[in-house]
């Protein structure tokens, strides 16, 4: 069968492929600790599950309105207004299949061939992949450990050209856990307004924040709601990855475009799942608060443990559930270390380059796993690194 030409421009999300590799090793009897998966290891809160089950029994088995059921759009609008700090009306809310749907529609609806889109590097790989897929040019914005995994604002400004149309930001970030400050966001907003750029603000980890860090939505800054698409969803906040529910808050000028794209692709997100999601937002929030507190304890465990391993340097991230340590002191690059950790040590992590070229000397670890498993993985990583030839480690640390 002849594959369409455009498929040569699409990328991937390595986590899914690496997970398949790890499962194949497990099928051969190997014990693998999974630290590659970007999903909470908690169950969806029981009240949301019960609401969805009830909905099925009560006949919510039909199409929903294409932008989402009114009860959910209202709940999202109220919640966003309260937490993100800008006025949101339900008509600007679209419920999509995963947060990924929000990305797809933003890029399909806004990027023309030849347009340049600024994307974080390292960053979630789908921004880059979809931009390329529609003929746009993704322009990597380096996000460095030396800069606290925040954007260097001068560097960002230097990357804007007359062809730049949009900018993707993600805070708290995958894969680094970095969080942009209010000052960073104000400078980014200023740049976006000056150059007439739209912003795709991926806030899917906006409630997974530590140490009293505040969640600032760029859409709440003056002049930004009309040029920002906010991406959020249920996958991470409520441990609902398998429910496939995300949402967009779009400017009024994008409502029709989003509607057409939803109708052309999914018709609507699953109806009974949306009823469960209303309960997740409106019901008791204690389970998600407890989950975040557990993530904080695990973060402290993994950061301390990694920093105890010679050749590894790890920042303590302020949000999400990932660490992105610099492992160049081991003498290996991130890809080789990830590969060997899986095959030789039974620990599955991702190479930093799965998220862009800037991540060459890094690996990404998801600490959405039990403390016992994190401790086991730290022991295995430490032992593996200690067994590497000393010359390699010296060469690596001198780099
Ligand atoms: C930064 C970021 N945005 C969006 C998504 C997609 O989320 P969903 O599972 O809701 O499609 C992910 C999932 O890993 C993510 O890390």
For 162-184, what is each residue's pLDDT tens digit?
999 999 999 999 999 999 999 99
pLDDT of residue 276: 98
pLDDT of residue 208: 97
pLDDT of residue 399: 45
For 85-119, what is each residue's pLDDT tens digit?
999 999 999 999 999 999 999 999 999 999 999 99
pLDDT of residue 298: 98
Contact (CB, 8 A) for 211 and 198: no
Q: How far is it, in rounded angstroms, from Cα 42 to Cα 190? A: 39
Give the pLDDT band (50/70/90) at residue 348: very high
Average pLDDT score over the chain: 96
From the CB of 236, is ligand 1 less than 6 Å away? Answer: no
> 99 CA to middle of ligand 1, Å?
5
- Left, alpha or beta for 113 (phi > 0: left; psi -120 to 50: alpha)? beta
Short-list 44, 67, 57, CA closest to 279: 44
Q: How far is it, in rounded angstroms, from Cα 183 to Cα 374? A: 34
Atom 4, ligand 1: residue with shortest CA distance: 99
Region 361-365: mean pLDDT is 98
Give the pLDDT band (50/70/90) at residue 71: very high
From the CB of 174, is ligand 1 less than 6 Å away? Answer: yes
DSSP state, residue 319: B
For 377-392, what is each residue's pLDDT tens digit?
999 999 999 999 876 6
From the CB of 202, is ligand 1 less than 6 Å away? Answer: yes
Indicate whether 84 pLDDT > 60. yes
In terms of pLDDT, which residue wins out, 251 or 13?
Answer: 251
> 384 CA to middle of ligand 1, Å?
31
pLDDT of residue 396: 52
Contact (CB, 8 A) for 320 and 172: yes
> 203 CA to middle of ligand 1, Å?
9
For 17-40, what is each residue's pLDDT tens digit?
899 999 999 999 999 999 998 999
Region 203-225: mean pLDDT is 96
Share of the chain above pLDDT 70, in %: 98
From the CB of 38, is ligand 1 less than 6 Å away? Answer: yes
> 204 CA to middle of ligand 1, Å?
7
Q: Angle at CA 16, nearest 5°, toward 12 and 18?
A: 105
From the CB of 40, is ligand 1 less than 6 Å away? Answer: no
The residue with tokens 């959020």 is 232
Share of the chain above pLDDT 90, in %: 95
Contact (CB, 8 A) for 209 and 219: no
Element containing residue 301 per DSSP (H, E): helix 286-307
From the CB of 176, is ligand 1 less than 6 Å away? Answer: no
Closest ligand 1 atom, residue 170 Cα? 1
Closest ligand 1 atom, residue 15 Cα? 14
pLDDT of residue 394: 53
Q: How far is it, in rounded angstroms, from Cα 204 to Cα 322? A: 13
- Sign of dihedral through CA atoms 121, 108, 219, 274? negative
Indicate whether 374 pLDDT > 80. yes
The residue with tokens 């999601």 is 277
Closest ligand 1 atom, residue 235 Cα? 10
Give the pLDDT band (50/70/90) at residue 13: confident
Indicate whether 397 pLDDT > 60. no
Contact (CB, 8 A) for 228 and 251: yes
Query: What are the strands of the beta sheet with 363-366, ordered from one edge?
Result: 322-323, 363-366, 350-351
């Amino acid at each position: 069968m002849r594959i369409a030409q455009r498929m040569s421009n699409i990328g991937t999300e390595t986590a899914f492929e690496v997970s398949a590799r790890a499962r194949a090793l497990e099928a051969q009897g190997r014990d693998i600790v999974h630290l590659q998966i970007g999903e909470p290891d908690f169950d969806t809160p029981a009240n949301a599950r019960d609401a969805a089950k009830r909905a099925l029994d009560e006949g919510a088995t039909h199409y929903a309105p294409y932008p989402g059921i009114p009860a959910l759009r209202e709940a999202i609008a109220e919640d966003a207004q309260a937490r993100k700090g800008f006025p949101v009306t339900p008509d600007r809310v679209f419920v999509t299949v995963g947060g990924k749907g929000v990305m797809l529609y933003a890029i399909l609806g806004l990027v023309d061939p030849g347009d340049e889109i600024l994307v974080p590097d390292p960053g979630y790989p789908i921004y880059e992949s979809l931009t390329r897929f529609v003929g746009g040019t993704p322009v990597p914005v380096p996000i460095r450990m030396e800069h606290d995994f925040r954007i260097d604002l001068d560097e960002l400004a230097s990357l804007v050209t007359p062809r730049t149309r949009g900018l993707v930001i993600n805070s708290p970030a995958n894969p680094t856990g970095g969080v942009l400050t209010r000052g960073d966001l104000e400078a980014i907003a200023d740049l976006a307004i000056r150059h007439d750029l739209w912003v795709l603000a991926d806030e899917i980890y906006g409630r997974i924040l530590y140490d009293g860090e505040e969640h600032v939505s760029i859409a709440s800054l003056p002049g930004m709601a009309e040029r920002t698409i906010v991406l959020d969803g249920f996958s991470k906040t409520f441990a609902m990855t398998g429910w496939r529910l995300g949402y967009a808050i779009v400017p009024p000028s994008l409502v029709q475009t989003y509607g057409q794209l939803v109708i052309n692709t999914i018709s609507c997100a699953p109806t009974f799942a949306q009823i469960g999601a209303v309960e997740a937002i409106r019901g008791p929030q204690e389970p998600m608060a407890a989950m975040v507190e557990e993530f904080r304890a695990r973060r402290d465990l993994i950061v301390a443990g990694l920093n105890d391993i010679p050749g590894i340097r790890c920042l303590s991230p302020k949000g999400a559930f990932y660490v992105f340590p610099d492992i160049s002191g081991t003498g290996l690059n991130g890809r080789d270390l990830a590969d060997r950790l899986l095959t030789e040590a039974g620990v599955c992590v991702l190479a930093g380059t799965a998220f862009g070229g800037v991540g060459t000397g890094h690996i990404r670890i998801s600490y959405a796993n039990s403390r016992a498993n994190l401790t086991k993985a730290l022991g295995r990583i430490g032992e593996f690194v200690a067994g590497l030839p000393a010359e390699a480690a010296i060469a690596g640390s001198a780099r």
